[in-house]
């Protein structure tokens, strides 16, 4: 039996009155497809095929059941298009599916996917599992003529092309060769990235430096955290350079005092006088300039 999303099986149905549990077994069909841009027709059709195949099995019986149920699950523009088909196309599920898929942009989307390696990138906040599953579905739909090995290679290439550069580099560094291995590596790296972000952001509220407080803004992404750490490193480097310049200035002042160039304060040597040139001061006062003539004798 089929039932829509609004209907719910009653608890305990089939367990009383001598009915078999199989007799009340129900399959939930996907919500009707209207033809808007909120849902992919190929994805919706695949859900319908799985739901019908759960009871009808496979083969011609399943296709006949799909052809019978398909119009009841279409609405708005999608139903109008199906109703405009010939009776022969309506009776063939695959033909009706192809017509609907071509009308609602699936053919154009697959053409873009075939020609562009980055046509399907990972959306913001999308889980890696969902992204990998959609890439696999698109590869099968866009390249049905490929063999298993070629499809596995194409899935791997398409999966890597849609990742951010950091995860892509990690997958290649870890030696992933197919989509399954790349998915494991990407999930592990993303979990480590989130754990590192939680561990690093919490303690960085304020950092005391040189008697003051350096405010650090709370960061929510790894790139922003890296920028903050680089800024702190540069600030510490500038502080070390300033301390070195102050040390060099102090050394020059001490050397100048020892040479007697500064006589305002006592020299640091053992002469005990106000400047190392104090010893030579009397000699300078009593010495004659070489330009002056010697005194005349009387």
The whole-number pLDDT of residue 104 equals 77
The whole-number pLDDT of residue 203 equals 56
Tens place of pLDDT per residue across the chain (298 aa): 455 554 555 444 444 444 444 445 677 888 888 877 667 787 888 889 998 888 777 778 888 899 999 999 998 888 999 999 999 999 999 999 988 887 876 666 777 888 888 888 898 889 999 999 989 988 988 898 999 999 999 999 999 999 999 999 999 999 999 999 999 999 999 998 888 877 765 555 444 444 455 454 444 556 677 777 778 888 888 888 888 888 888 888 888 877 776 555 555 555 555 555 544 444 444 445 555 555 555 4
The whole-number pLDDT of residue 114 equals 84
The whole-number pLDDT of residue 198 equals 79
Residue environment code for 245-271, b if the CB has 16+ CB neighbours within 10 A, otherwise e: eeeeeeeeeeeebeebeeeeeebeeee
Residues 6+ apart with CB under 8 A from 257: 265, 267, 268, 275
The whole-number pLDDT of residue 154 equals 94
By CB atoms closer than 10 A (0-12, 13-18, 19+), residue 153 is middle
The whole-number pLDDT of residue 55 equals 79
Q: In whole angstroms, what is the distance from residue 206 CA to residue 231 CA?
A: 14
The whole-number pLDDT of residue 222 equals 63
Note whether 97 and 104 are within 8 A (CB).
no
Note whether 60 and 91 are within 8 A (CB).
no
Note whether 268 and 254 are within 8 A (CB).
yes
The whole-number pLDDT of residue 272 equals 52
Query: Helix (H, G, I), strand (E, B), or coil: what is residue 33?
Result: strand
Which string of DSSP letters, residue by residue, matches 110-161?
HHHHHH-TTSSPPPTT--HHHHHHHHHHHHHHH-TTS-HHHHHHHHHHHHHH
The whole-number pLDDT of residue 107 equals 63
Question: What's the pTM value of the predicted model, to 2 decimals?
Answer: 0.47
Tokens of 128: 């890696």
**Residues linked to residue 209 through DSSP beta bridges, in sequence order:** 212
Domain ranges of the chain: 1-104, 118-202, 206-259
Residue environment code for 54-68, b if the CB has 16+ CB neighbours within 10 A, otherwise e: eebeeeeebbebbbe
Q: In whole angstroms, what is the distance from residue 151 CA to residue 157 CA?
A: 10
């Amino acid at each position: 039996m089929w039932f829509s999303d609004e209907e719910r099986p009653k608890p305990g149905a089939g367990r009383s009155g001598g009915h078999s549990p199989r007799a009340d077994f129900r399959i939930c069909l996907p919500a009707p497809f209207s033809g808007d841009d909120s849902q992919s027709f190929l994805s919706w059709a695949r859900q319908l095929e799985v739901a019908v195949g759960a009871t009808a099995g496979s083969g011609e019986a399943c296709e006949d059941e799909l052809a019978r149920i398909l119009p009841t699950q279409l609405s708005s523009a999608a139903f109008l298009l199906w109703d405009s088909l010939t009776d022969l196309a309506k009776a063939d599920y695959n033909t009706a599916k192809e017509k609907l898929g071509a009308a609602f942009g699936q053919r154009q989307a697959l053409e873009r996917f075939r020609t562009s390696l980055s046509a399907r990138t990972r959306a913001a906040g999308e889980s890696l599992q969902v992204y990998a599953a959609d890439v696999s579905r698109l590869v099968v739909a866009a390249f049905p003529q490929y063999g298993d090995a070629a499809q596995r290679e194409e899935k791997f290439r398409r999966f890597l092309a849609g990742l951010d550069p950091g995860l892509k580099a990690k997958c290649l560094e870890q030696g992933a060769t197919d989509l399954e291995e790349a998915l494991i590596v990407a999930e592990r790296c993303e979990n480590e990235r989130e754990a590192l972000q939680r561990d690093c952001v919490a303690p960085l509220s304020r950092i005391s430096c040189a008697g003051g407080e350096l405010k650090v803004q709370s960061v929510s992404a790894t790139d922003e955290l890296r920028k903050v750490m680089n800024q702190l490193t540069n600030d510490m480097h500038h502080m070390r350079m300033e301390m070195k310049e102050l040390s060099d200035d102090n050394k020059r002042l001490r050397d100048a005092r020892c040479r007697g160039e500064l006589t305002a304060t006592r020299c640091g040597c053992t002469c005990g006088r106000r400047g190392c040139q104090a010893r030579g001061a009397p000699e300078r006062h009593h010495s004659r300039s070489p330009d002056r003539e010697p005194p005349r004798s009387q």
